[in-house]
Structure formats: C-alpha cells, structure tokens
Amino acid sequence: MLKGESIGIRKYALLGETGEKLFTLEYEGLFSFKAHAYFDPSKQIDFEPKGFWGQEVLILRNNEQIASYKLNWLGSISLNYQDKNFSIRYKGFWKPKIQVQNEQKKTLLEVSPYFKWSKLSYEYDFEILDKTMETDVEYLACVFYTVLYLSSFMNGISGSSEAYG
C-alpha cells in the first residue's frame, strides 16, 4: 500500500511500500491549485488549472501536455492520461474512498483519506488493485493531485487547510 503524506501546508509526498519517497507534490501558493510534482532534481511535471473555477487542469512535462482532467458537475473527475480515460469519484460518507476506474468501470485504485491530528491535515492510503499502474509514477502523480483536488472540495466544508492546496 502506498501512502500520501502531508509535509506542511503546501507540500505532500507519495511514499512507496517500503517507505521510500516516489515524488513530492508542491503547490505554488496557499490559495493556488497550480502545483509541481518533483521526481528527482531533473524530472518534474506541472499542473496548470484552466478556466475561472479551475475545473480543467492541464498536466505538462517540459511544457508539453501529457494529460488533462475535467471536474464535472456531478462531482467526479475525468482524467485523460496516455489516451486512456479514467473516472475518479468520491464514494461513501462515514468511511469515504476515492475510486479510480477505467473506461470499462473496473476499479484500478482506491484511496482512503484520513485526518491526522498530529499534523492537522489529511493523509491518504493508496490501495492499487491493478498492479500494472504501480510502476507508472507520473500516473500516480496525476492521480494524487486529482485526489487532493477532489478531496479539497469534499473536505473543505469541514474547514481543513487542505481546501486551499
């Protein structure tokens, strides 16, 4: 199981099964959805919100688009990555999960958010159900950013600092 961990207000890390850092995701500002995922000093991808509400996000590597997603009015996100479409949606109320499904509605990944009182922020457990996705760290960065984006709206009502990235 992978773990999404908060490192301060604007920074997160995705940790692998053995606790190694796969990448760091950092927002540009407190009230900004613009972010960067750093894999190592020479490799990064950028998340560029578009539109008034930021309901569309372009994902760029070296200023070339590698993916995009759109938030629809039903509360789910459509992620287009490597010419494949994924649906990301929030499920449940008491024990919520965020599910990532492929075009055939097969669940590939489930993310369980939980509030960590010692850090006063949310952290995430990633359960990968389709092991072929486990090695694609860019895909995982896209999903992690999307999970934070979706979670910020769902948890923003409770006043978490995460509502602003």
Full set of structural domains in the chain with CATH = 2-156 (2.40.160.200)
Q: Answer for the pair 23, 17: CB distance below 8 angstroms, yes or no.
A: no
Tell me: the pLDDT tens digits for 89-122?
988 877 889 999 999 999 999 999 888 888 888 8
Q: Which pLDDT band, with edges at 50, 70 and 90, does 141 fall under?
A: very high
pTM for this predicted structure: 0.85
- How far apart are alpha carbons 110 and 89 in whole angstroms? 10
Here the tokens at position 35 are 């972010």
User: What mean pLDDT is predicted for residues 63-77?
Assistant: 87
Tell me: the pLDDT tens digits for 47-62?
999 876 668 999 999 9
Task: Tell me the average pLDDT of the chain.
Answer: 86
User: What mean pLDDT is predicted for residues 24-38?
Assistant: 90
62 Cβ contact partners less than 8 Å away, ≥ 6 residues apart: none
SS (HEC) of 127-151: EECCHHHCCCHHHHHHHHHHHHHHH
User: What mean pLDDT is predicted for residues 5-16?
Assistant: 91
Q: Which residues are paired to 113 by β-bridges?
A: 124
